[in-house]
Structure 1
Amino acid sequence: MTKLEPGSFLAELTAVEIDDLAARGRERSYKRGELLCREGEASTAVAVLLEGRVKAYSFIKHGGEVLLAVRGPGALIGEMAAIDEKPHSATVAALEPTRTITLTRAAFLDFLQANHRASVVILRTLCRLWREADSQRVELGKFDTTGRVAARLVELAERFGVPYKDPTAKTPNGIRITLNLSQEELASWVGASREAVSKALSTLRRHGWIQTGRRQLIVYDLQALRNQTQSENIGIYLADT
């Protein structure tokens, strides 16, 4: 099992609870693009990510999709639909080869009955996710596209970043974001058009804070990106620098 994301469901369980969870389910693998669950369908299973990253998204009325979240190792998938017996509120697809422990809905509920502390862990996890969703809604009204892109790049660098060393440098001098997101996916995540996101990335490149390539993004100045998410006038700030 790869390193779990801090604060994720599995990372908060004890070794005994993890063993019990695994005994009630079975391991399953997914290829990139394969669906773990589909929006609008009834819940039949719950999955816990062991390896790989997935995206949760929703389809919009006139075509296209809105990226809602990215989840990594340790995350719980499909728990809300299993608990409230409502259809899935989003589609979840693998962004890369992914491995899970998958439980039937009944087995998952039995696990919670037998492990009451795990129910509290779920509540804490859901509270954190709701707070993240609230923060992203605030960003829509507080920042322009460049600010929202900067905020997502900070999140991606902190969650999925690894040290990067330029071939001409002796020591690591950047952070390479290992998550394979397209510009279309990033645009749907920040609530902007692909063209607007492309322009925002160009602005951040011009300042030397990031470098982009085909499905590759390197952050050279994470603090500069953080600073942009703390200013309500990011567009003015960038224009004056």
Structure 2
Amino acid sequence: MNGASATGPEAASADRARSALMRAGTPRTYEAGEIMLLAGGTDTFVLVLLNGFAKVTTTDSRHAAVLVDIRAGGDVMGETAAFDSEPRSATATAVERMSVRRISQDEWLAWMNRHQAANLAISRSLAHRSRTAVRRRIQFTRGPVIARLSSAVLDLTEQYGARTPEGLSVRPGLTHAEWGELIGAGERRVQHALQELRTAKVVSYGRCRLTVHSLPALRRIAADP
């Protein structure tokens, strides 16, 4: 339930809502590679992610999986189906071992009805997600591949980057193919762009590992038309 911070009575109300949510449902653990939500599924439970990362994928016109988003600890997944009872629109897969709270549709809706602050937080979260999707569609799919890749790397680094002695480690680790799915580019073009960034000493990379050495340089490249 990530979102803008509240203060005063609003913060206290949000804390009560969050505490109630953490008591709702049942604890569940997903192992790396395990499907958490399946596109087309008719289940309506909600998942509150307590830690780790999940990859969200859909299918393209050739029925191939395409990475469209990353979710992390503190996020909520599956709430749309809980609201409208329609089939799941995407598949979510655990990147690593994850702990969650699995909450039934009835319990989720009851929680929403009991806590006004929850309605506001979820509405803000959905609005932020929608705005982010539009922004990414523009930044990740237009312009030179190296600029689009830099935008995607910058986006994940600013959200989930972990400080290391070498720089900022981008989390979660993505394959070259998955970076390509995010920006609408072929794997070979992603490899070429990564080589350019490495030659410029902006990043270093290995198998499912990417470290950013210069955020200012990455921002300049991302902004290059």
Regarding TM over 0.5, the answer is yes
Shift of 1:140: 4.7
> In the TM superposition, what is the alpha-carbon distance from 1:71 to its structure 2 partner?
0.8
Q: 1:141 to 1:100 in 2, by over 3 A?
A: closer
Matched, 1:17 2:23: no
Residue pair 2:44, 2:85 contacting (<8 A) in 1 also: no
Matched, 1:220 2:206: no
TM-score, normalization by structure 2: 0.91
The answer to whether the 8 A contact 2:14-2:117 is kept is: no
Q: Which runs of 4+ in 1 moved over 4 A?
A: 4-8
The two structures, once aligned, show a CA RMSD in angstroms of 1.9
**Is the CA contact (8 Å cut-off) linking 1:36 and 1:92 kept in structure 2?**
yes
TM-score by length of 1: 0.85
Q: Assess if the C-alpha contact under 8 Å between 1:43 and 1:78 holds in 2.
A: no
Conserved in 1, the CA contact under 8 Å of 2:60 and 2:66?
A: yes
Tell me what 1:170 maps to: none
Contact 1:5 / 1:73 at 8 angstroms: preserved in 2?
no
Counterpart of 1:181, as a letter, is: L
Read off the aligned partner of 2:147 and give its amino acid letter: G
Residue correspondence of structure 1 range 1-241 to structure 2 within 5 A: 7=4, 14-140=14-140, 142-166=142-166, 174-232=167-225
Distance, in Å, in 2 between the alignment partners of 1:59 and 1:141 is 17
Between the two proteins, what is the percent identity of the paired residues? 27
Counterpart secondary structure, 2:40: coil
Q: Deviations over 1:59-113 (max 9, x none)?
A: 2232421111101111110011111221111001101111101100111011101
Unaligned 5+ runs, structure 2: 6-10
- Listed as ranges, the gaps of 5+ residues in structure 1 are 167-173, 233-241
Q: How far does the alpha carbon of each residue in 1:33-67 deviate from its partner, in whole angstroms, 9 at most, with x for none?
A: 11111111113200010011101110223242111
1:197 maps to a residue whose letter is V
Post-superposition Cα deviations, 1:99-139, rounded to whole Å, max 9, x if no partner, equal 10110011101110111221111111111111111111212
SS of corresponding position for 1:158:
helix
CA displacement, residues 7-43 of structure 1 (integer Å, 9 cap, x when unaligned): 59xxx88332122112221111000111111111113
